[in-house]
Amino acid sequence: MTAEDELEKIKQRKAKELMQIAEQRKQRMEELKTAEEAPASIEEKDKLALMQFFLTPEAYEYWIDLYENVPKRPTAEIIFKNVLYMIKIGYLEGAQVNRMGVKKLEREIEGIPSSITIKRKGEKEKKTTY
């Protein structure tokens, strides 16, 4: 084998790896779309049971407050779809989402940036992080 043949094999292998990565990304995007289009046939009692199982008790109470609040209901629905997606991809295997996780999802959905408040000798300085 010459150096040119080895170089060609390396190029082919890299191209194949890149094609596999592109295919995986495409599949993930399709999964995300199907997760967003969660079946409307899920009954409310099933939805509540799923969320109660995969959320900690504090997180479930917080989610219920969002779900029962009419202006926040779309946010709660999107959080539900995100939890379904995490279940589908195996991210929640043996774990539960805590209250901070639900709040983080809520803030991301509503577009609220995180902020840090620093107090120094009577001063208050608020910094926004992105």
Average pLDDT per block of 10 residues along the chain, 130 residues long: 85 90 83 62 78 91 91 91 87 86 90 80 68
- Specify whether the CB–CB gap between 119 and 126 falls below 8 A: no
> What value, to the nearest 5°, has the Cα angle with vertex 90 and ends 85 and 94?
115
User: Which pLDDT value is given to residue 94?
Assistant: 78
Element (H, E) at 34: helix 3-36
What pLDDT, on a 0 to 100 scale, did the predictor assign at position 35?
62
As a whole number, the mean pLDDT across the chain is: 83
Residues of the chain with pLDDT > 70, as a percent, come to 85
- Map out the domains of the chain as residue ranges: 1-37, 42-129
What pTM was computed for the model?
0.58
